[in-house]
Amino acid sequence: MLTLVLLLLLKGLCLCIRGAFGASATYNVGGDKGWVVGLVNYTEWAANHTFYTGDSLVFLYEAEVHTVLEVGKSGYEDCSSANAIASYEDGKTSVVLRQAGTHYFICGVAQHCPAGQKLQVVALDAPAPPPNSGPPAFMTAGGLQPSTNLGTSLPSLPLPLSSLLTLGPISYYILLL
Ligand SMILES: *[C@@H]1O[C@H](CO)[C@@H](O)[C@H](O)[C@H]1NC(C)=O
Ligand SMILES: *[C@@H]1O[C@H](CO)[C@@H](O)[C@H](O)[C@H]1NC(C)=O
């Protein structure tokens, strides 16, 4: 029982840390198929995900066969590389969505973009960290209090901080953070 409570508290702590650090996600564009022509509808692929600033798009492709150009709206619509913002041809291109708004990518190889090798994604502002993102109380107070919603059915704690360490490497790692 005690272990369960501790695990629940640790789980809450992990979520808190995740929120505080603004966890970002990494997406392989096109899923398993990658950055290809004709096999993936990238409009549908993008619609399957929600992107936030700080997330990364990874384009995986054969370097001699495709490229990745970051372009503006008209470049995307016209499949034009004339005003490309950035150009990549390394076969494994990772792009961080730094700014909120729409980001446009096309393949610069002739006829690939018109055949559908083009992607637009909308990056939303990353969710703000929770208002109370300071260190959890027990880290500073040295004792562990049952939280109010669990407290009624539990014998009164508090526990010394050292009992957390008996949970092993995970809690130790968290405390190091
Ligand atoms: C979008 O998600 C649906 C449901 O998971 C899946 O069947 C479909 O293949 C996905 N489409 C793309 C282009 O990833
Ligand atoms: C991709 O899917 C969208 C929505 O289903 C559709 O409107 C569009 O024509 C498709 N694009 C291609 C290149 O097939």
pLDDT in tens, 145-172: 444 444 444 444 444 444 444 444 444 4
- Phi and psi at residue 118, to the nearest 5°: -150, 145
Ligand 1 pocket, 44 CB below 6 A? yes
What's the 1 CA to ligand 2 centre distance in angstroms?
Answer: 53
CA distances from 8 to 60, 148, 149, 155, 172 (A): 38, 13, 12, 16, 16
pLDDT at residue 138 is higher than 70: no
Q: What confidence category does residue 84 fall into, taking pLDDT thresholds of 50, 70 and 90?
A: very high
pLDDT at 140 over 70: no
Please, what is the Cα angle at 22 between 19 and 23, to 5 degrees? Answer: 90
Choice between 83 and 137, residue whose per-residue pLDDT is larger: 83
Give me the mean pLDDT over the 129-137 stretch: 63
Residue 41: what pLDDT? 98
Q: Which tens digits make up the pLDDT trace of 8-45?
A: 444 444 343 434 456 899 999 999 999 999 999 999 99
The dihedral built from the CA positions of residue 88, 93, 94 and 95, taken in this order, carries a sign that is positive
* 27 CA to centre of ligand 2 in angstroms: 20
120 lines ligand 2 (CB under 6 A): no
In the chain, which ranges are E strands? 26-28, 51-52, 56-60, 68-71, 86-88, 92-96, 101-106, 118-124, 143-144, 159-160
Q: Please state which of the ranges 58-67, 74-83, 141-150 shows the lowest mean pLDDT.
A: 141-150
Could you tell me if the CB of 41 is within 6 A of ligand 2?
yes
CATH placement of domain 26-124: 2.60.40.420
pLDDT at residue 133 in the model: 59
Burial of 122 per CB tally in 10 Å (0-12, 13-18, 19+):
middle
| Band (128; pLDDT cuts 50, 70, 90) | confident
74-80 long-range contacts, Cβ below 8 Å, gap at least 24? 75/104, 75/106, 76/104, 76/105, 76/106, 76/118, 76/120, 79/106, 79/113, 79/114, 79/118
Helix axes 2-20, 169-176, angle to 10 degrees: 40
Per-residue model confidence (pLDDT) at position 92: 98
Q: What is the mean pLDDT of the chain?
A: 77
Residue 116 beta carbon below 6 angstroms from any ligand 2 atom: yes
- Cα(41) to ligand 2 centroid in Å equals 6
31 pocket-lining for ligand 1 (C-beta < 6 Å): yes
Q: Which residues contact 97 (CB under 8 A, 6 or more apart)?
A: 51, 52, 53, 54, 55, 56, 57, 103, 121, 123
Any atom of ligand 2 within 6 Å of the Cβ of 147: no
pLDDT of residue 23: 82
Break the chain into its structural domains and give their ranges.
26-124, 134-177
The closest-lying atom of ligand 2 relative to the alpha carbon of residue 116 is 13
Identify the residue whose C-alpha is closest to ligand 1 atom 11. 45
